[in-house]
Amino acid sequence: MKEVFIFLAIFLFLPVVCAVPDLEIEKIDKGSVVIAELDNPAVFDFVIDNKNETEKFQIYSLVGVGMLPEGFFELPSGKTTIEVIARPGEKIRKMKGFVNFEYQIYGQKSGIFKDELLIKIVPLDEAVEISAKDLHLDDSEVSVLIKNKENANLGNLELKLESVFFDESREISLEPLEEIELSIPITKETKKIAAGPYVLTGEVVDMDTKIEGVINYLEKEGTKVESVSIGFVVRKTTVIKTNVGNTPVAASVKVEKDILSRLFTVNLPLHSDVRREGLITTYTWQENLEPDESLVVESITNYTFPFIVLVLLIVIVFSVKFFTRTPLMISKKVSHVRTKGGEFALKVHLHLKAKKHLDNVNVVDSLPAVMKLYEGFGTRPDSVSAETQRVSWHLNKLNAGETRVISYIVYSKIRTFGRFELPSAVASFDFEGKSYSVVSDKVFFVSDTAVGKQGD
């Protein structure tokens, strides 16, 4: 991998000589990086040594890259330097990293010969870096540094700069690897702004591209405050207070916790002082810092236990609401029946309980594929379908608080062993002018026992 990077560096930054039948071409990189979101081209100087007599040539590419100069140009015998511009199309700009493409030079007499050109595609937010010099309490302007990290020509970028200290728009142009410094006046009220790091955003107008940096707002004594919080269930807050001045300072860090969060909080190191006012507990750390020393405070709050309790409470509440809001409850039970002929038989009970007055109640149950309905017992069904193995009962109405039990027997001459499952029954009904339906639980029977079991 190291050898590959060395090869690419040599190709990009050293003149490359390409020998062809009648020409020698030395390519000098003047900006071979193309920004994906912009229309900037890659720029090279071609030093062409024409070994023959004066001739007209044309340079072009057949792979979606526009080339300049456009049309025919004349090359006298000997060395000539021309500026060559390569402008990749939209498809190539979507690539990221190094792109090696073929171009061709056509001579009216000498014909066509081919060569390759290496460019690099980089997103704008990776090509440009934005930062700011440390800001002091008495400063009236902020020094913003904008750096072009790539070998690309960036022209006429309209940049909207935003922070808690100012809103400013500037048009900038950057040469390859150039860094510029902008002096931005502070236009917002800063009296209530606490010391610490603040986000500096540079948004390129008319593009969905934002570049972020940091403005360190220093305390007057010369300390810098950094605060980072990560995690949700386990929340870790790290506060770092650094003496960036040249004299010792007394540094103080305060962390506030409410009555609940403090029960699940561990502080490192041990705090110097703790005070409780109402529902708020304030922890304080104090330390004398020499120049370039830091006070690091970590506060870890673990909400795992209360989070689990909260989730369980939500599940219970929703479950209770779900099972209590339906006006009809239906449950299914099964038990084994002994027969004189030795057939395998099961007795099924469907329990219906109405919480409200219901009309047009229909109960549909499915028989197992290997079993038949015994018509000499139980609640005679209103409908039996041999094709679908379904039986149904129709009840005109159920009064509030009324309970009905529907019983029937199914049998099979084939003995079944192991776990035997019966599907859920479905009851549909009309309530307050609307139609609803509920489903019973599933039941199963273990054939080597004499007792039915219920399961989900």
Backbone phi and psi for residue 136, each to the nearest 5 degrees, phi listed first: -100, 165
- What gap in Å lies between CA 310 and CA 307, rounded to an integer? 5
Q: Which residues in the chain land under pLDDT 70?
A: 1-21, 245-247, 320-325, 415-418, 420, 447-456
| Domains 2-122 and 124-217 agree in fold | yes
Residue 65's pLDDT is 87
Backbone phi and psi for residue 50, each to the nearest 5 degrees, phi listed first: -85, 115
Here the tokens at position 207 are 């593009």
What count of other Cβ atoms lies within 10 Å of the Cβ of residue 306?
Answer: 14
- What gap in Å lies between CA 227 and CA 245, rounded to an integer? 19
CA distances from 145 to 148, 169, 182, 196, 213 (A): 10, 14, 6, 19, 10
Residue 322's pLDDT is 62
- What gap in Å lies between CA 198 and CA 161, rounded to an integer? 13
Residue 90's pLDDT is 82
User: Which top CATH class is 124-217?
Assistant: mainly beta
| Burial per residue of 363-399, b for 16 or more beta-carbon CB atoms within 10 angstroms, e otherwise | bbbebeeebbbbeeebeebeeeeeeebebbbebeebe
Assigned CATH topology for domain 327-454: Immunoglobulin-like (2.60.40)
Residue 150's pLDDT is 86
Residue 453's pLDDT is 37
CA gyration radius for the chain? 41
Domain ranges of the chain: 2-122, 124-217, 233-304, 327-454
CA distances from 430 to 329, 433, 439 (A): 14, 6, 15
Q: Are 49 and 21 in contact (CB under 8 A)?
A: no
- What gap in Å lies between CA 395 and CA 418, rounded to an integer? 35
| Burial per residue of 88-103, b for 16 or more beta-carbon CB atoms within 10 angstroms, e otherwise | beeebbeeeeebebeb
Residues contacting residue 279 through CB under 8 Å, at least 6 positions apart: 258, 259
Q: What is the 3-state secondary structure (H, E, C) of the chain?
A: CHHHHHHHHHHHHCCEEEECCCEEEEEEECCCEEECCCCCCEEEEEEEEECCCCEEEEEECCCCEEEECCCCEEECCEEEEEEEEEEECHHHHCCCEEEEEEEEEEECCCEEEEEEEEEEEECHHHHEEEEECCECCCCCEEEEEEEECCCCCEEEEEEEEECCCCEEEEEEEECCCCEEEEEEECCCCCCCCCCEEEEEEEEECCCCCEEEEEEEECCCCCEEEEEEEECCCEEEEEEEEEECCCCCEEEEEEEEEECCHHHHEEEECCCCEEEEECCEEEEEEEEEECCCCEEEEEEEEECHHHHHHHHHHHHHHHHHHHHHHCCEEEEEEEEEECCCCCCEEEEEEEEEEECCCEEEEEEEEECCCCCEEECCCCCCCCEEECCCCEEEEEEEEECCCCEEEEEEEEEECCCCCCEEEECCCEEEEEECCEEEEEECCCEEEECCCCCEEECC
Judged by phi (left if over 0) then psi (alpha if -120 to 50, else beta), residue 99 lies in beta
Here the tokens at position 373 are 């309905």
In CATH terms, the superfamily for domain 2-122 is Immunoglobulins (2.60.40.10)
